[in-house]
Amino acid sequence: MLDLRFVAEHLDIVKTKTAQRQVAFDFAPLEQLEEARRRAIRDYETLRAEQKRASDGMKALKPGSPEFDTLRATLKEMADRGKALEEEKRIIEEAIPPLLLRIPNLCHDSVPVGESADDNYLVRSHGEIKPLGFAPLDHVAIGEKHGILDFEQAGRVSGARFCFLRGQAARLERSLINFMLDIHTREHGYEEIFPPLMVNADAMTGTGQLPKFEEDLFKTDNLYLIPTAEVPVTNLYRDTLLESLPSTLKMVAYTPCFRREAGSHGRDTRGLIRQHQFNKVELVKIAPPEESYDELEKLVNDACTILQRLELPYRVMGLCTGDIGFGAAKCYDLEVWLPSQNTFREISSCSNFEAFQARRANIRFRDSSGKAQFAHTLNGSGLAVGRTLVAILENFQNADGSVTIPDALRPYTGFDRIG
């Protein structure tokens, strides 16, 4: 959430940067409320000055005199008007946050202006795309060939966009989770967290899923199933004032994730790319503002390490204003090569939210001068597990339909080949 004072004082900048995101937002109601709020404050302050003058004037009057009684009645009317103005201000101020919650974050000045993913830019690439020497199968065909991916039965049990992982696929998925967690905790210094998989509306609001993206969420009773571990892990520090933040807090969590994918009809309906339920290892950081952009680069490198160890070709893309997520100030996408599609597909999104989430979730720390200020929050997938499985099946497939397991994973899987 943006700071109201900043929005009011730099409205033209906020409007311009919001439009650069290809977001249509009607600022008129917010402007009207802010003007009404300021008017109520001005009227109240004027009234208080009048009350003080009237109160001082009473000291010179004789109690019980007509002038005294008249002025006392006037003061009572002023007090009633003051209460009415305070109530008016309270009502106005309660109406402002729901509007602020719907304004996207402002992109960092280094983010290029663009309309869509076509305007994203290549930061770097890694790994050689080696021709397979045969027509590649996609992961669905590979999985069905070996009886390790069962979409048909999952459809009967749960509906579209679910899958049973069986045998070696189930073991491979579990191995990837452990492999990622071990690298991030043992080598990169993240604290491992296993959070709740259901959270309340306040937590979803804190990280920006509510109110804008409610249609993408699964809800049960008064709780929401998490779309990503970012939500509970970031909210671990909700309504917290850290007495100091001498260095960045780094956390990693494996969780199942649940998404309706309400706006993705017809997209990636085949296979594991876009499921309602999927596994992910998430990296979350809470950083001092002056360190957050260095920490973003480190977070990207931490996620890239997994792809490098698995010998998967990938590229890092910087997102333009028209493709960046609602709450992010700057974002990089990691995209892995998929031979069956002859293209790169997203496998991680790494973002710096600056104070956008921290202001919503009230995550603060005391700086070196003792002043409380909002922290910066960051997160990124390290990695999306199902998409990593897809990339392994496709990149390491052989002409006979078998799949070679990357060397780094073999101590985890206990086998070096599928099929």
Catalytic residues: 259, 274, 346, 349, 387
- Nearest Cα residue to 362 out of 97, 92, 109, 34: 97
* Residue type at 261 in one-letter notation: E
Peptide bond into 211 cis (omega under 30): yes
CA 183 to each of CA 179, 351, 393: distance values in angstroms, whole numbers, following the listed order = 6, 20, 21
Contact 322, 304 (CB under 8 A): no
State the Cα–Cα distance between residues 394 and 131, nearest whole angstrom: 12
Peptide bond into 383 cis (omega under 30): yes
DSSP character string of 81-95: HHHHHHHHHHHHHHH
Contact 387, 335 (CB under 8 A): no
State the Cα–Cα distance between residues 227 and 260, nearest whole angstrom: 9
- Residue-level length of the chain: 419
* Residue type at 91 in one-letter notation: I
Q: Per the structure block, which two tokens stand in for 283? A: 């990296």
